[in-house]
Amino acid sequence: MPVAIEIEARDDEARAGILRTPHGAVPTPTFMPVGTKGTVKGLTPGDLRSVGTGIVLGNTYHLYLRPGVDLVQKAGGLRGFTSWEGPMLTDSGGYQVFSLAHRRKISEEGVRFSSVYDGSSHFFTPELTTKVQEVLGADIAMVLDECPPANASREYHADSLLRTARWAKRCKETHSREDQALFGIVQGGLHPDLRKESLERTVELNFPGYAVGGLSVGEPREEMLQMLSLVASRLPADKPRYFMGIGDPVGILQVIALGVDMFDCVLPTRLARHGTALTNDGRINLKNAPYRRDLRPLDPECSCEACKGYSRAYLSHLVRENELLAHRLVTLHNVHFTSELCGRARAAIVEGRYREFIEAWILRYAGGRPLDVAR
């Protein structure tokens, strides 16, 4: 297989491993920064390497619309176009299409949608999104799935998971790139029996890796963790497990505890653009008055460029003046912080003390307020 995982240690359900790809090995658990339009906003590939990023995510929906796959293909694929030389994953674009309910219409064949850029009409099929991802050339591609809203009815989720399973089969039948792995996606909402059915239908297709989708979309955290626990424990133990769309530090540690190897989210970079930094003692909003004269680093325990070279007061000034440097430095810090957190989680798993680690870490992050951790 072009992509495989070697599990080196387990602590209860938590796993520490190595994700092997054609463009390098990635220690797991690992956070994938989101490069929606071919860039992790504000950071160069060199920046990403400097903060320990192992794998980057690209978005098929946006890249298909702009700049278009023909240009990316001429540039040597997404890796050549962006100058990121390491491992990459592309989503199918399904989440973006289905999140824009007023712009799309679903049929058995695929989904018709209007571009968010110019209103032009497009039609995504499982076959098209698979071929587009083959052209983009990431190490991991995703099947086209339907991601229903959290408040969708049980009947809708039941119909949707069957459609997703049929689309997954069509994606696999279309996929032909030997140096790229195609992952399946489990859906089913917050219904245990539907989750089990979706899992069985997806695993039956024997993908080289599996994602859990349709969670972290607005449902209560406890319900999300219950569904993830049910699914992750039943996924093949010898294949990568990817939770789609989680990026808050507490959530990251909770899904790792349930056996997830990979995850992605725009949260660390989006928070940075709004002046919020992640620290071991919780989030800090640099727009707030206390930080205007605070000459300490963002996080005294962090070794990133922003923390080694600049004070909270200076970064607060940059944020309040809307300087571009603020976006870069706080983004750099948040991505480094998230990557380092995964490294600390990995070390705790290897040492057999993961439960102790997350309980202490979350208690500190929450300012001494006990929070539930994954059971």
Q: Would you kindly state where each structural domain of the chain is located, as residue ranges?
A: 4-265, 272-365
Q: What are phi and psi of 269, to 5 degrees?
A: -80, -35
281 classed as catalytic? no
pLDDT for 121 = 94
pLDDT for 370 = 52
Residue among 91, 145, 248, 294 flagged as catalytic: 91
pLDDT for 1 = 85
Whole-prediction pTM value?
A: 0.95
Distances (CA, A) of 80 to 71, 84, 186, 199, 261: 11, 7, 31, 35, 27
91 classed as catalytic? yes
What residues contact 214, with CB distance under 8 A and at least 6 apart?
147, 148, 187, 188, 189
pLDDT for 371 = 52
pLDDT one digit per residue (tens) for the chain, 375 residues: 899 999 999 999 999 999 999 999 999 999 999 999 999 999 999 999 999 999 999 999 999 999 999 999 999 999 999 999 999 999 998 888 777 767 788 999 999 999 989 999 999 999 999 999 999 999 999 999 998 887 889 999 999 999 999 999 999 999 999 999 999 999 999 999 999 999 999 999 999 999 999 999 889 999 999 999 999 999 999 999 999 999 999 999 999 999 999 999 999 999 999 999 999 999 999 999 999 999 999 999 999 999 999 999 999 999 999 999 999 999 999 999 999 999 999 999 999 999 999 999 999 999 865 554 443
Alpha-carbon distance of 164 to 168, in angstroms, equals: 6
Q: Alpha-carbon dihedral of residues 77, 82, 84, 89, nearest 10 degrees?
A: -60
The identity of residue 13, as a single letter, is E
Alpha-carbon distance of 213 to 247, in angstroms, equals: 14
Alpha-carbon distance of 137 to 131, in angstroms, equals: 10
State the architecture of 4-265 in CATH terms.
Alpha-Beta Barrel (3.20)
pLDDT for 351 = 98
Give the dihedral sign, CA 135/139/144/147. Answer: negative
- One DSSP character per residue, 109-171 reads S-EEEE-TTT--EEEE-HHHHHHHHHHHT-SEEE-------TT--HHHHHHHHHHHHHHHHHH
Three-state DSSP state, 41 = coil
Residue among 47, 139, 248, 264 flagged as catalytic: 264
Three-state DSSP state, 70 = helix
Nearest to 14 by CA among 288, 360, 348, 369: 348
